[in-house]
Structure formats: C-alpha cells, structure tokens
Amino acid sequence: MSAAPIFSAESALALRAGSQTYRYDKQHLLPFADSLPDGTGWIGQKLGLGLNGLAPGGAGQAPLAVAGAKMALSICFEDLFDSAIAGQAAGAELIVNMSNFAWFAGS
C-alpha cells in the first residue's frame, strides 16, 4: 500500500474552527495539464512546468458535510469522468465543481 500524497496536483481543503480539516484530492489528473506521463519528466523540465511527482487522490473520498448537507467535490475538468462523479455523488446530496482560469504552476 502506498502512502497518500502530501498534496495532489489539485486539492480542496475545508478549514473549520474546532473541527477536523476536510481534504479532497483530485482523482483524475489530466496529462500535460495536471501531470506528465511516466518517462516524460524531461518535457516538464524543458517547459518549466512543476508537474513532476504529483499523484492523484484515491477513489471513495468522503463527501464534505456542511450544515447537515453532504457535498461531493470535483475539481476542474474532473467532472468529465462520469464514473468518478458517480462514485463521489453516491453518498452526497449536492455536487460542487471547483475551477478557475489560473494555470496550476503559476497560481
């Protein structure tokens, strides 16, 4: 069993006073956007991309509970993967997709 990454390419954190921190790690890293395929790290170095060593989050991450509602999270283009969204939404009442127009390495 491998250790969980410190942070995946993209993670969501929910910080609450007096409560445990919630963390969701993006499960589907997009090649050349979030990660580089094995053996292509030299491309990232040549282009100045800080994408080496990033790892996806695991399947079956718990929903985020806010005010009694359970929310399934997805990040950016991850919502295109219907099987991942279906797995996340199984225990949730709401699906929240977080995205922005900033490039990861420069944001």
Q: pLDDT digits over 44-102, tens only?
A: 677 776 665 567 888 888 899 888 899 999 888 888 877 778 888 888 999 888 887 56
Domain ranges within the chain, ordered by starting residue? 21-106
Q: Please tell me the predicted confidence (pLDDT) of residue 101.
A: 59
Cα separation of the two ends of the chain: 32
* Whether the model pTM is above 0.75: no
**Tell me: the pLDDT tens digits for 75-86?**
888 888 777 788
Q: How far is CA 48 from the centre of its chain?
A: 22
Confidence grade of residue 104 (pLDDT, cut at 50, 70, 90): low
pLDDT at 9: 55
